[in-house]
Chains A and B, each alone.
Chain A
């Protein structure tokens, strides 16, 4: 039988991968932009995989959670900058970002998680677009004009700190979110939640008949995934860019990127989003140098190819190959 500590071995390759990425970025300052972009994709994949990979439901409105997370940080900086809180603003912003995302996910989950398959996808697309147009239409948080808070950040914590925060520490915080999301995925996988969700993914009705409270576990995964997205939005977008526009942060494109990453790596695996994020990020970076403007044209047929030919993704194939070898316990 598996020993208690053995259960959590697969976190080691995750940590190694992020450490290598971070180390590469620190050694080559010129490539820091690429590294932070790769980390963003990996984190996006990790957070998205928590829900899509484990339940098999496709949330086409996922970026909405990142959007409200961004707004959480933005609202905190925009309204509290003159209260003399210093760096606590960032902490409050992170909490607010996660909180907003959680609240939205509760509202969405209450409606959408009653639905299945196609209806769920339609409802979640609707939520993302609906929320965007509510922000624009009712002029919540400045409406379509968005918020620009570079000045506020400098005033709140001084010029040097603000600069360091948006160029370096935002990315480090993002690495933290990535590792947190990976750890949560592993904990869920190795506990009751994961087993229940696997049963649900294979056959929802059968799982229900077995006495599994599928709604409860779906909501747990949904909220966790949304909160991670909120933190990602707060760090990777609000802290790093210092502005937020509804048209940018509710762009469905990011949801699609998340889906591609998870599928490339393998849905429902722990390492999948990292592998997928690295493949996607690196190839997108070099494609944009070699063939600018053609990235989507090349990626769209690749998605179809993966779904039709290798539905289990890179890590899925790798897992099959490593079955029975000593490496097996590190790769899930």
Chain B
């Protein structure tokens, strides 16, 4: 009985783990290239979930087609936030907004306008109030100040600064979404049948999500290994000064990998909605941020594919330990599973901070 339950849960964990892996790749990509930990990770996942929700409820478009939209919104947000807040901190050579090229402005503007259109569609369903105007106003005032004062810093900012900035970006997203949709939990049900494998049952959307995240991981892998652009990004990971000497536009690589990382994260939010029938709310990202940290550390913080495998391992461990804790009387299995994952985080950080899959 226990064995059957365990193996069923482990299979579920495998499927969930693939999506967890996908949700962590963006974090690892950003850390690998920019040496920045995105503490607002969960908020970007939340943006993806809301994108899927709005497209499904507002327009009746199944979440599979929300994936490219989410990718675009994510990359646009990434560009906007990189040039608005991150650039003066990670790449001190020039000021932020003053150096924005038309290409970048186009991407950031496109993503932002896309988000506004989605919100406008969503406003038929949900309440839209002054939050969005305040948000836009703040961005403009802030951009004005950045234009005047930006670029004063000569050295790379300390880690503290980047941590706080990414955290604040996450808070901004959460608060804007809260103002529009209120903080209650929502959800949608995309029912297209299920697959019965004897010990457990998989709804097709879950399988599709796992398959989709695997495809994205493979595509990313091929892009990194086979294309020139991917090679340029890898060279920045290896040595940013060396890459600059060899003629790689390091600033552009930073911007590109930040927006790509955010894009991947937002996309994973779409996929994650298949696993949470109800539970899309502005603050849903918190637990995923923490899980992503555990997974990223498990795989090795700087490598996206290691993060993917870390995600699969984490999915298995999480579901396995849940089954075991559920059979111990007197404890709350849900909370204990979380506790277990943090113990794991600390142990790995202590004994092998480079990750399980990487050589020391």
Listed in ascending order, the chain A residues whose CB lies under 8 Å from chain B are 52, 56-58, 60, 111-112, 114-115, 117-119, 121-123, 125-127, 129-130, 133-134, 136-139, 143-144, 252, 256, 259, 263, 267, 293-294, 296-301, 303-305, 307-309, 311
Contact = CB atoms under 8 A, between A and B. Distances in A.
Interface string B143-184: 001100110110001111101110111011011101100000
Contacts of A114: 350
B37 interface: yes
A305 B161 CA distance: 11
A127 to B, nearest CB: 7
Nearest to A130: B342
A136 B165 contact: no
A309 B149 contact: yes
A118 B353 CA distance: 11
Given A126-B346, A133-B339, A118 B163 contact: yes
Interface in B316-359: 325, 330-336, 338-339, 342-343, 345-346, 349-350, 353
A58 B179 CA distance: 29
Given A133-B335, A133-B339, A125 B290 contact: yes
Contact of A301 (B142, B159, B345): B142
B145 A309 contact: yes
Contacts of B346: 111, 123, 126-127, 130
B218 to A, nearest CB: 28
A316 B297 CA distance: 36
B88 A308 contact: yes
Contacts of A121: 37, 39, 159, 163
A199 to B, nearest CB: 15
B175 A117 contact: no
A134 B339 contact: yes
Contacts of A58: 159-160, 163-164
Interface of B is mostly: helix
Interface string B15-43: 00000000000000001000111010000
Given A129-B290, A137-B338, A297-B138, 14 more contacts: A58-B163, A118-B37, A119-B301, A121-B37, A129-B342, A133-B336, A133-B339, A138-B339, A298-B138, A303-B168, A307-B161, A307-B165, A308-B88, A311-B161
A139 to B, nearest CB: 7
B135 interface: yes
B85 interface: yes
Contacts of B149: 309
A126 B345 contact: yes
Contacts of A60: 39, 163
Interface residues of B, number: 62
Nearest to B334: A137
A144 B176 contact: no
Contacts of A136: 332, 335
B294 interface: yes
Contact of A143 (B146, B175, B332): B332
Nearest to B158: A56
B64 interface: no
Contact of B168 (A133, A294, A300): A300
A119 B353 contact: yes
A126 B159 contact: no
Nearest to B175: A297
A308 B146 contact: yes
B131 interface: yes
B112 interface: no
A122 B297 contact: yes
A309 B293 contact: no
Contacts of A308: 85, 88-89, 96, 146, 150, 165
B93 to A, nearest CB: 15
A117 B349 contact: no
Interface string B269-305: 0000000000000000010001001100100010000
Give 5 nearest A-B pairs by CB, closest first: A130-B342, A137-B335, A137-B336, A297-B175, A117-B159
A266 to B, nearest CB: 13
A120 B129 CA distance: 39
B331 A305 contact: no
